């Protein structure tokens, strides 16, 4: 049994994180566990694998961003404790499980329209069930929320009206409008 270790590369800005993650993943047999974005534009790339592979991948990631000048810190923890492992493992929310369930349930045959007709009532029920009780659904409450909170809810709702880029750049009014439209659509289906 190989002992898992955790490699972390902290950079300023998303560009440096992408470049470091790419070089690290190409350099050794490691897995990208998560990319954590914190305030102030700090981004931490978390890599998992055996100790030597993680050391090599972190070194490669750091050397790839030297010219960008965005490195804040780097560190490798060998033989990661279970409690720290829980702390660094991203939570699996119901939206991820729901997405994987929808992928498995999507028909793969050429006769998509026939399959869609057969499962229309099931999909309608699933759409209504996806209106989560912790989502804010009244216009007054949405207007009290911060833009970051609106974006978080919009991502969780997986809005059909807005792409993830549009959510990221959306104004407060456009996010509220899209959220309310999506809630109304879910109720009517």
pLDDT of residue 93: 56
Residue 43 lies in a domain: yes
Q: Structural domain tally of the chain?
A: 2
Q: How far apart are CA 176 and CA 142, in angstroms?
A: 6
Per-position DSSP letters for 73-126, written without gaps between them: EEEEESS--HHHHHHHSPP--HHHHHHHHHHHHS--SS-HHHHHHHTHHHHHHH
Q: pLDDT by residue for the chain (189 residues), tens digit each?
A: 356 899 999 999 999 999 999 999 999 999 999 999 988 889 999 999 999 999 999 999 999 999 999 999 999 999 888 888 778 777 665 554 444 454 444 444 344 334 443 444 444 444 444 666 667 777 888 888 888 888 888 888 887 778 888 888 888 888 888 888 888 887 777
pLDDT of residue 130: 60
End-to-end CA distance of the chain: 50
Residue 37 lies in a domain: yes
Please check whether residues 68 and 143 belong to one and the same domain: no
Please check whether residues 84 and 139 belong to one and the same domain: no
pLDDT of residue 133: 65
Residue 73 lies in a domain: yes
pLDDT of residue 57: 96
Residue 114 lies in a domain: no
pLDDT of residue 131: 63
**Which residues constitute the domain of residue 187?**
126-189
Q: How many helices (H) and strands (E) does the chain have?
A: 10, 4
Q: Residue 8 forms beta bridges with which residues?
A: 46, 75
Q: Model-level pTM?
A: 0.49
pLDDT of residue 87: 80
Burial class (CB in 10 A: 0-12, 13-18, 19+), 117: exposed
Phi, psi (5° rounding) for residue 92? -100, 105
Please check whether residues 133 and 73 belong to one and the same domain: no
pLDDT of residue 75: 96
pLDDT of residue 154: 82
Maximum separation of any 2 CA atoms in the chain, in Å: 56
Q: How far apart are CA 122 and CA 115, in angstroms?
A: 11
Q: How far apart are CA 49 and CA 41, in angstroms?
A: 26
């Amino acid at each position: 049994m190989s002992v898992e270790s955790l490699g972390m590369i902290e950079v300023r800005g998303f560009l440096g994180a992408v470049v470091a993650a790419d070089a690290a993943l190409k350099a050794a047999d490691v897995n990208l566990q998560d990319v954590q974005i914190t305030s102030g534009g700090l981004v931490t790339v978390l890599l998992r694998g055996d100790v030597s592979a993680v050391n090599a991948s972190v070194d490669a990631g750091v050397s790839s961003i030297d010219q960008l000048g965005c490195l804040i810190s780097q560190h490798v923890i060998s033989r990661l404790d279970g409690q720290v492992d829980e702390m660094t493992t991203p939570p699996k929310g119901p939206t991820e499980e729901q997405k994987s369930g929808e992928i498995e349930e999507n028909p793969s045959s050429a006769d998509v329209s026939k399959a869609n007709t057969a499962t229309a009532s099931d999909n309608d029920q699933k759409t209504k069930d996806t209106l989560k009780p912790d989502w804010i659904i009244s216009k007054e409450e949405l207007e009290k929320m911060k833009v970051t909170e609106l974006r978080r809810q919009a991502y969780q709702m997986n809005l059909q009206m807005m792409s993830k880029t549009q959510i990221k750049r959306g104004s407060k009014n456009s996010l509220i409008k899209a959220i309310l439209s999506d809630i109304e659509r879910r109720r009517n289906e």
